[in-house]
Structure 1
Amino acid sequence: MNVQYACEKIDEFCKGNGWSGRDLKSGKNYQCKSKTKTKTKTKTKTKTKTKTKTKTIISVYFAETDEPDTVEVAFEVVNIAEISNKTKAQVESWIKELQGSVGAYAKPKTRYKYPRISISSDEKVSEFINYFSGYITDAITRDIEYKVDEKNENGLVFSIDEHIPSSILTRRGQSKFRERLIRVYNGACAISNCTAEAALEAAHITPHAQEQSYEVNNGILLRADIHTLFDLFLISIDPESRTVLVSEECRPSYDEFHGVKLSLPSSHLDWPNPSSLMDHYLKWKEKNSS
């Protein structure tokens, strides 16, 4: 197992969720920020103070592990329960499932006695990220960060997130996943180069219904209409040349994109997974062969 690669992938996942990293002697600690409000009353008025605190979510260890060439992940159960809207007992049960599937039990080694799993392969690292991402997805989706205040025609202030239909939010893709794709694709559609952020969506290469993977290499940032055609297998990507393929059904409206080279992120780690592209291409070919 490539321990450095494993740590980089977990680090990318954590930072994609907005968790800050803090170096430890033999690993890294990841924390999220939470805000608490306290009210104090005086004779004339009530004052509200907001304090920002950091809470540990997980710690990742690459040294002093039970087995060599493994990484260990320690979970802060109470804080994970809070961000995922689960009970402490539910989180503890979920961690036991992880210890029997994507990893193995590892002994707690700090005074906090956080439960740990040991991960021993690159494949299992990807599985862990998918499991963890899926576990907290509901909570993250409810925390969509479109907080820009605007005024409607009556002069009333509202937050955009309260007025975006849920179908659009769902279509855009899981919020943190979309944010990561916007970042690695420099805010432009990988096919059309459209930079209107409101029109950009997180497209899963392997359909979300088939596999709940939120890894960057299972996504492509696409303009909304192109995303729809991609999901319908009317547009695909040649896995070898990485050029765009448009079905006859969609020409001439989308002919300008046929044969265009897919724009790729700067890091090879973020490039679309070749195997997933091949699966999508074969389905596109089957659909458009007649």
Structure 2
Amino acid sequence: MAGRRALYCGIVVLLIVAFSFVAPLLCQHDAELANLALSNRAPDGEFLMGTDSLGRCILCRVLTGLHTTVLAALAVVALSVVIGSALGALSGYIGGVFDSVVMRITDAFMAFPTLVLGIAIASLLGGGLQNAVIALVVPGWTRFARIARSSVLALKERPFIQAAVIGGLSRTAIALKHVLPNILPPLIVTACLDIGGSMLSLAGLSFLGLGASPPSPELGAMINQAASGFQTAPWAVFAPGFAIFLVVAVFNYFGDSVNEALGNKGSLFVRAKK
């Protein structure tokens, strides 16, 4: 049952990701073209979600902003997984000074909330979506490093790993055939759970002016730009806000479903097939 729910949620997530890529192509209006004659126009037949203070179609900006936000969040998680799992696995496998250095670095980063560090780093790097992604990856990899390291440390003493070493398998072969299959489940679960949080963090940075640069649409930046005119055009705030809520809720539910489906495997070690 849990596996089926995770499958259905995964299909919905894939549809959202696919839609985010084609959504900008569905826009009937230019998402960045301002027309003050249409300023703060209420939702109607022509503009289903109305227009903002500069007369831009909110629906088109939400669709384009969804593409930007989802793609950036996936980039944050993917980079964090690759960097963190590689450093964590090497740290646990090699040990010694390298392990101590990596763990002290992770301790330093994990002493502060990810978003707080992200704001500080983005402020130093300057605005822009690329810098926002970097600002979240810098502290974000540490969680995956911890998970990978702890999994590798536990695996090193397992009988089938010792048997592989005695059998003369190289370190690379052991890592690919025995270690990697056993550390993937907890990394996958954590990555799925992190996508929604990364979207919220990116939206938060953009809301503070540290994300996507105007006039490029991004959901968090749209809320920031429309907040001052909330009483005049509340739809300009509700539309991107609801889009963030809906997509983050779907990704979080997907992460919970994957966690439940892999719950019996994420904490167990599966012997690689010979």
TM-score under structure 2 length normalisation = 0.26
Q: Which has the higher strand share?
A: 1
Normalised TM-score (structure 1): 0.25
Greater relative contact order: 1 or 2 (C-alpha under 8 angstroms, separation 6 or more)? 2
